[in-house]
Amino acid sequence: MGFPVAAVTLPGSNYVQVFVGGGSSQAVTLTQTGLSSTDGLDSAWSGPSSFAMSTEAGAADYTCIAACQDHNGQANLWAMPTIGHTLMTRQKASATAQWSAPTPFNPQPPVGSSGPISVIAAGKSIPGRIQLFAALPDEAAGHCTMITTWETEENSGVYYDWTPMEGAPDLALQPAITCVNAPDGRLQLWATSSQGNLMTCWKSGQEKNAPWTTWEQAGADIKATSAAGGVDSSGLVQMWACPSGGPDVMTGTVASSPSQNITWSNLILASGAEVGTPYNVAAGHLSSGHLIVFLAAGVYNSPDKYALYATLDNGGLAGWVHLANLN
C-alpha cells in the first residue's frame, strides 16, 4: 500500500495541504499558496518539502496517514511511522502557526499479531467530535480487524480507548478505509471487506451518539485498496477508489446520501495524461466549493517512477495535473 496520501484544509486560510509518504524513503508535503481566478488546478502550490511524523532517527516516512479539522477548524494529522509501533500526531492551530512537533497519540492503538495498524482514517461527526478508524492486520487469519476511537467531547483532545468497530466486517489485508461527511453532516464510513467488497455504513441520525447503520455493499465489487470522497460543488457525495492492481481509478456519485446506492465507472487515467498505475487517493475541499482529488500513482510507461497528480471534480473531471515527483 505504498504512497499513503492525506489532505486537509488549513485553518483560517482555506488553502489545502497534502501529505504523501513512501517517496525516496521520506515523506513530503505540498501546500496551496495562492488562488487562481477559478480556484482550480492552476492555483499556486509550494514545491515538495520533507514532513516527518516522527522524531525517531530514520523514521521520517510513514505507512499510513489521516487528516481532518476539529470542531474549531484546527488541522490534525495522525500517522504510523515506518520504524516503531507508535502512532504519532501533529496539529496546526491557525493560518500563521507552525505545525506542532510530532508527539505520540494517546491512547495508542493495540499492536496485532502481524504488527501495528496498516491503514487509518479520520472524520468529524456531528456535533464535532473526531473519530479515528484503523485496520489491525492478522495475516495468519487472512484479514484485518477494524478498530476505532473517538473524542469524549468536541475539541477535548481526549479520546476513548481503542475498541473493535461494532458490527464491522472482517477487512481485507490491504483495505481501503475512508470516511466522508454527507450533505447533512452525518459521517459515512467506507471499507473493503475480506471478501473484496467495498462496504459502507453511516450514522443513523444527527444526534450526538446516534448508532451506526448495518454495513451494506456499496455498488459493484471493486476490491479497493484506497478510497476517498467528499461533497462536491453540486452538493452530492462523489467517491473515488483505487482497485487492487489498477490500472484505472473508479469513481461514482452516491445517488441519495447517505446510502449505499452508488454506480461505479472507470476513469481512464492514461488517456491524454502520464498517469500510470494508481496507488492511493485523497480528497480536499477548495474555497470555491470544488473538491480536489490527489492521486499517488506510477508514471505511465516509466517503470519505477512515481508522482503525485491532482484533478478537480466540478460537474465533470478535469485533466490530471502533475504536482510532484515522488522519487
Mean of pLDDT values over 169-184: 94
pLDDT tens column, 90-104: 999 987 899 999 999
Residue with the three cell numbers 496507488? 279
pLDDT at 85: 86
Cβ–Cβ < 8 Å for 149, 163: yes
Cβ–Cβ < 8 Å for 203, 210: yes
pLDDT at 6: 97
Q: Which of 39-53, 113-127, 265-279, 291-305 has the highest mean pLDDT?
A: 113-127
pLDDT at 315: 46
Cβ–Cβ < 8 Å for 280, 4: yes
Percent of the chain with pLDDT over 90: 56
Task: Map 42-65 to HEC letters.
Answer: CCEECCCEECCCCCCCCCCCEEEE
Mean of pLDDT values over 8-31: 85
Mean of pLDDT values over 112-122: 94
Closest CA to 50 of 62, 34, 35, 63: 62
* Cell numbers found for residue 106: 494517546
Residue 83 identity (one-letter amino acid):
I
Q: Which range, of 5-19, 44-58, 118-132, 228-242, averages the lowest pLDDT?
A: 44-58
Instruction: Identify which has the larger pLDDT, 165 or 289.
Output: 165
pLDDT band at 246 (very low <50, low <70, confident <90, very high): confident
pLDDT at 289: 78
Is pLDDT at 317 greater than 60 in this prediction? no
Domain with residue 113: its CATH number is: 2.120.10.10
Closest CA to 284 of 18, 13, 12, 3: 18
Mean of pLDDT values over 38-55: 79
The boundaries of the domain holding residue 50 are 5-325
Q: Which of 16-25, 136-145, 234-243 has the highest mean pLDDT?
A: 136-145
Is pLDDT at 287 greater than 60 in this prediction? yes
Q: Which range, of 105-119, 177-191, 290-304, averages the lowest pLDDT?
A: 290-304
Is pLDDT at 167 greater than 70 in this prediction? yes
pLDDT band at 269 (very low <50, low <70, confident <90, very high): low
Is pLDDT at 272 greater than 70 in this prediction? no
Computed over every residue of the chain, the mean pLDDT equals 88
pLDDT at 122: 98
Give the C-alpha separation, 326 to 7, whole Å. Answer: 16
pLDDT band at 270 (very low <50, low <70, confident <90, very high): low
Is pLDDT at 59 greater than 80 in this prediction? no
Closest CA to 224 of 197, 253, 205: 197
Closest CA to 283 of 306, 260, 251, 254: 251
Quick count: other Cβ atoms within 10 Å of Cβ 212? Answer: 17
Is pLDDT at 46 greater than 60 in this prediction? yes
Residues of the chain by 3-state class (helix, strand, coil), percent to 5: 0, 50, 50
pLDDT tens column, 190-207: 999 999 899 999 999 999
Structure pTM? 0.94
pLDDT at 263: 85
pLDDT band at 255 (very low <50, low <70, confident <90, very high): confident
Q: ∠ CA 305-309-315 to the nearest 5 degrees?
A: 150
**Total tally of structural domains belonging to the chain:** 1
Give the C-alpha separation, 116 to 291, whole Å. Answer: 31
